[in-house]
Amino acid sequence: MERFFKKTIVGIAALTTSVFLTACGQQAASQQSSHSSSNTPSAESESTRAYHSAEHLIRQGEYKAASNKLSDVNHRSQQVNNLNADLHSYMSAKKSYNNGNYDEASSSLSSLKSNSSAMRGAYTDLQNKISNAEKVSSSSSSVTNKATTSSAESSSATSQTTTANETSTSVVNSFANKMGFDNNNGYSITPINKDGNNYRFEVRQNNKDNTVANMVGIYQYNSQTGTATKVQ
Protein backbone atom coordinates (compact mmCIF):
# COMPACT_ATOMS: atom_id res chain seq x y z
CA MET A 1 0.00 0.00 0.00
CA GLU A 2 2.77 2.37 0.90
CA ARG A 3 4.52 1.48 -2.36
CA PHE A 4 1.35 2.30 -4.28
CA PHE A 5 1.13 5.80 -2.79
CA LYS A 6 4.76 6.46 -3.62
CA LYS A 7 4.23 5.52 -7.28
CA THR A 8 1.15 7.72 -7.44
CA ILE A 9 2.98 10.72 -6.01
CA VAL A 10 5.87 10.28 -8.45
CA GLY A 11 3.47 10.07 -11.40
CA ILE A 12 1.66 13.24 -10.38
CA ALA A 13 4.95 15.09 -10.00
CA ALA A 14 6.10 13.98 -13.46
CA LEU A 15 2.80 15.06 -15.04
CA THR A 16 2.95 18.44 -13.33
CA THR A 17 6.50 19.00 -14.55
CA SER A 18 5.52 18.08 -18.12
CA VAL A 19 2.56 20.47 -18.12
CA PHE A 20 4.72 23.25 -16.68
CA LEU A 21 7.43 22.80 -19.29
CA THR A 22 4.86 22.74 -22.10
CA ALA A 23 3.29 25.97 -20.87
CA CYS A 24 6.66 27.67 -20.60
CA GLY A 25 7.54 26.61 -24.13
CA GLN A 26 4.28 27.97 -25.51
CA GLN A 27 4.73 31.29 -23.66
CA ALA A 28 8.30 31.68 -24.98
CA ALA A 29 7.17 30.91 -28.52
CA SER A 30 4.36 33.43 -28.18
CA GLN A 31 6.73 36.12 -26.88
CA GLN A 32 9.22 35.42 -29.68
CA SER A 33 6.46 35.62 -32.29
CA SER A 34 5.20 38.89 -30.81
CA HIS A 35 8.72 40.36 -30.72
CA SER A 36 9.37 39.32 -34.33
CA SER A 37 6.06 40.84 -35.46
CA SER A 38 6.77 44.15 -33.75
CA ASN A 39 10.16 44.41 -35.49
CA THR A 40 8.59 43.98 -38.99
CA PRO A 41 6.57 47.09 -39.90
CA SER A 42 3.49 46.54 -42.00
CA ALA A 43 3.10 48.07 -45.46
CA GLU A 44 0.38 50.31 -44.09
CA SER A 45 2.53 51.79 -41.32
CA GLU A 46 5.47 52.24 -43.73
CA SER A 47 3.26 54.18 -46.14
CA THR A 48 1.82 56.26 -43.34
CA ARG A 49 5.24 57.24 -42.06
CA ALA A 50 6.42 58.14 -45.56
CA TYR A 51 3.26 60.17 -46.16
CA HIS A 52 3.75 62.27 -43.01
CA SER A 53 7.47 62.71 -43.71
CA ALA A 54 6.67 63.89 -47.24
CA GLU A 55 4.16 66.43 -45.92
CA HIS A 56 6.83 67.80 -43.58
CA LEU A 57 9.27 68.14 -46.50
CA ILE A 58 6.62 69.85 -48.64
CA ARG A 59 6.06 72.49 -45.97
CA GLN A 60 9.81 73.13 -46.04
CA GLY A 61 9.78 73.49 -49.82
CA GLU A 62 11.73 70.26 -50.35
CA TYR A 63 9.47 68.91 -53.09
CA LYS A 64 11.96 66.62 -54.82
CA ALA A 65 13.02 65.09 -51.50
CA ALA A 66 9.35 64.54 -50.62
CA SER A 67 8.76 62.74 -53.90
CA ASN A 68 11.83 60.55 -53.36
CA LYS A 69 10.59 59.69 -49.89
CA LEU A 70 7.28 58.47 -51.30
CA SER A 71 8.91 56.61 -54.19
CA ASP A 72 11.12 54.63 -51.78
CA VAL A 73 8.09 52.92 -50.17
CA ASN A 74 8.01 49.26 -51.22
CA HIS A 75 4.27 48.74 -50.91
CA ARG A 76 2.67 52.14 -51.46
CA SER A 77 -0.85 52.88 -50.30
CA GLN A 78 -3.29 54.79 -52.48
CA GLN A 79 -2.82 57.99 -50.48
CA VAL A 80 0.96 57.77 -51.07
CA ASN A 81 0.40 57.28 -54.82
CA ASN A 82 -2.00 60.22 -54.95
CA LEU A 83 0.37 62.54 -53.07
CA ASN A 84 3.28 61.53 -55.32
CA ALA A 85 1.18 62.30 -58.42
CA ASP A 86 0.30 65.73 -57.00
CA LEU A 87 3.98 66.41 -56.33
CA HIS A 88 4.96 65.62 -59.92
CA SER A 89 2.24 67.92 -61.26
CA TYR A 90 3.38 70.68 -58.91
CA MET A 91 7.05 70.39 -59.86
CA SER A 92 6.18 70.45 -63.56
CA ALA A 93 4.03 73.58 -63.08
CA LYS A 94 6.73 75.30 -61.03
CA LYS A 95 9.31 74.65 -63.76
CA SER A 96 7.02 76.19 -66.39
CA TYR A 97 6.34 79.17 -64.09
CA ASN A 98 10.06 79.78 -63.59
CA ASN A 99 10.52 79.73 -67.38
CA GLY A 100 7.75 82.30 -67.86
CA ASN A 101 5.30 79.82 -69.46
CA TYR A 102 2.34 80.84 -67.33
CA ASP A 103 -0.41 79.17 -69.39
CA GLU A 104 1.48 75.89 -69.37
CA ALA A 105 2.13 76.22 -65.64
CA SER A 106 -1.54 76.82 -64.90
CA SER A 107 -2.66 73.82 -66.95
CA SER A 108 -0.17 71.57 -65.13
CA LEU A 109 -1.85 72.32 -61.81
CA SER A 110 -4.70 69.86 -62.25
CA SER A 111 -7.11 69.01 -59.47
CA LEU A 112 -5.52 67.56 -56.34
CA LYS A 113 -5.79 63.80 -55.98
CA SER A 114 -4.59 63.64 -52.39
CA ASN A 115 -6.05 65.10 -49.20
CA SER A 116 -2.70 66.56 -48.11
CA SER A 117 -3.09 69.99 -46.54
CA ALA A 118 0.60 70.72 -47.21
CA MET A 119 0.17 69.97 -50.90
CA ARG A 120 -3.03 72.03 -51.08
CA GLY A 121 -1.19 75.01 -49.60
CA ALA A 122 1.66 74.69 -52.11
CA TYR A 123 -0.82 74.45 -55.01
CA THR A 124 -2.72 77.54 -53.87
CA ASP A 125 0.45 79.57 -53.40
CA LEU A 126 1.79 78.70 -56.85
CA GLN A 127 -1.57 79.34 -58.55
CA ASN A 128 -1.68 82.82 -57.00
CA LYS A 129 1.83 83.53 -58.27
CA ILE A 130 0.86 82.39 -61.77
CA SER A 131 -2.27 84.57 -61.78
CA ASN A 132 -0.34 87.65 -60.65
CA ALA A 133 2.39 87.03 -63.22
CA GLU A 134 -0.21 86.72 -65.98
CA LYS A 135 -1.78 90.05 -64.96
CA VAL A 136 1.60 91.80 -64.96
CA SER A 137 2.50 90.25 -68.31
CA SER A 138 -0.84 91.31 -69.83
CA SER A 139 -0.48 94.88 -68.51
CA SER A 140 3.10 95.10 -69.78
CA SER A 141 2.04 93.83 -73.19
CA SER A 142 -0.72 96.45 -73.39
CA VAL A 143 1.71 99.27 -72.54
CA THR A 144 4.19 97.97 -75.10
CA ASN A 145 1.53 97.85 -77.82
CA LYS A 146 0.46 101.42 -77.05
CA ALA A 147 4.05 102.59 -77.11
CA THR A 148 4.64 100.80 -80.41
CA THR A 149 1.52 102.34 -81.95
CA SER A 150 2.45 105.80 -80.72
CA SER A 151 5.98 105.35 -82.02
CA ALA A 152 4.68 104.23 -85.40
CA GLU A 153 2.35 107.24 -85.65
CA SER A 154 5.15 109.59 -84.64
CA SER A 155 7.48 107.96 -87.12
CA SER A 156 4.89 108.33 -89.87
CA ALA A 157 4.42 112.03 -89.12
CA THR A 158 8.17 112.57 -89.00
CA SER A 159 8.58 110.67 -92.22
CA GLN A 160 6.05 112.89 -93.96
CA THR A 161 7.74 116.05 -92.70
CA THR A 162 11.17 114.77 -93.66
CA THR A 163 9.98 113.68 -97.08
CA ALA A 164 8.36 117.05 -97.69
CA ASN A 165 11.53 118.84 -96.65
CA GLU A 166 13.62 116.61 -98.85
CA THR A 167 11.59 117.29 -101.97
CA SER A 168 14.08 117.68 -104.77
CA THR A 169 14.75 121.08 -106.27
CA SER A 170 14.00 119.70 -109.71
CA VAL A 171 10.41 118.89 -108.68
CA VAL A 172 9.94 122.38 -107.23
CA ASN A 173 11.36 123.98 -110.35
CA SER A 174 9.18 121.77 -112.54
CA PHE A 175 6.10 122.88 -110.62
CA ALA A 176 7.16 126.54 -110.69
CA ASN A 177 7.71 126.45 -114.44
CA LYS A 178 4.41 124.66 -114.95
CA MET A 179 2.52 127.36 -113.04
CA GLY A 180 4.68 130.35 -113.97
CA PHE A 181 5.76 131.01 -110.41
CA ASP A 182 9.07 132.58 -111.24
CA ASN A 183 11.24 133.36 -108.27
CA ASN A 184 12.28 136.59 -109.89
CA ASN A 185 8.72 137.80 -109.51
CA GLY A 186 8.80 137.28 -105.75
CA TYR A 187 7.23 133.84 -105.62
CA SER A 188 8.32 131.40 -102.90
CA ILE A 189 7.33 127.72 -102.97
CA THR A 190 7.38 125.59 -99.80
CA PRO A 191 6.83 121.78 -99.92
CA ILE A 192 4.41 120.76 -97.16
CA ASN A 193 3.56 117.15 -97.99
CA LYS A 194 4.44 114.23 -100.27
CA ASP A 195 2.65 111.01 -101.10
CA GLY A 196 4.45 109.06 -103.78
CA ASN A 197 4.55 111.28 -106.88
CA ASN A 198 2.01 113.69 -105.41
CA TYR A 199 3.38 116.85 -103.80
CA ARG A 200 1.63 119.63 -101.95
CA PHE A 201 3.13 123.10 -102.12
CA GLU A 202 2.38 126.36 -100.40
CA VAL A 203 2.90 129.31 -102.72
CA ARG A 204 3.41 132.89 -101.53
CA GLN A 205 4.39 136.11 -103.30
CA ASN A 206 6.30 138.98 -101.75
CA ASN A 207 5.12 142.55 -102.18
CA LYS A 208 7.34 145.04 -103.97
CA ASP A 209 9.11 145.93 -100.73
CA ASN A 210 9.58 142.28 -99.83
CA THR A 211 8.06 143.04 -96.45
CA VAL A 212 4.95 140.89 -96.76
CA ALA A 213 4.61 137.42 -98.30
CA ASN A 214 1.02 137.12 -99.41
CA MET A 215 -0.60 133.69 -99.74
CA VAL A 216 -1.21 132.70 -103.34
CA GLY A 217 -2.59 129.25 -102.59
CA ILE A 218 -2.01 125.55 -101.78
CA TYR A 219 -1.36 123.35 -104.80
CA GLN A 220 -1.36 119.62 -105.46
CA TYR A 221 1.25 118.59 -108.02
CA ASN A 222 1.89 115.21 -109.63
CA SER A 223 5.50 115.04 -110.76
CA GLN A 224 4.84 112.07 -113.03
CA THR A 225 1.93 113.49 -115.01
CA GLY A 226 2.85 117.17 -114.54
CA THR A 227 -0.69 117.92 -113.37
CA ALA A 228 -1.14 120.78 -110.87
CA THR A 229 -4.34 121.65 -109.06
CA LYS A 230 -5.07 124.44 -106.60
CA VAL A 231 -6.70 122.92 -103.54
CA GLN A 232 -6.89 125.96 -101.30
**What's the pLDDT tens digit per position in 72-86?**
998 889 999 999 999
pLDDT in tens, 39-64: 445 556 888 999 999 999 999 999 99
Query: What is the share, in percent, of the chain residues with pLDDT greater than 70?
Result: 69
Closest CA to 198 of 179, 217, 177, 225: 225
Per DSSP (E only), the strands in the chain are: 187-195, 198-206, 213-222, 227-230
125 burial level (CB within 10 Å; 0-12, 13-18, 19+): exposed
Distance CA 137, CA 23 (A): 80
Distance CA 35, CA 80 (A): 28
Tallying the residues shown for the chain, one arrives at 232
H and E: helices and strands count for the chain: 7, 4
Which carries the bigger pLDDT value, residue 70 or residue 185? 70
Which carries the bigger pLDDT value, residue 118 or residue 5? 118
Average pLDDT over the chain reads 78
Instruction: Identify the pLDDT of residue 183.
Output: 75
Of the pLDDT bands very low, low, confident and very high (cuts 50, 70, 90), residue 137 is confident
pLDDT (mean) for 174-178: 88
Does pTM top 0.85 for this prediction? no
- Grouping H, G, I as helix, E, B as strand and the rest as coil, residue 108 is helix
pLDDT at 141 over 70: no
Distance CA 151, CA 149 (A): 5
| Radius of gyration, CA atoms only, the chain | 49
Which carries the bigger pLDDT value, residue 1 or residue 196? 196
Of the pLDDT bands very low, low, confident and very high (cuts 50, 70, 90), residue 147 is low
Please, which residues bridge with residue 194 across strands? 199
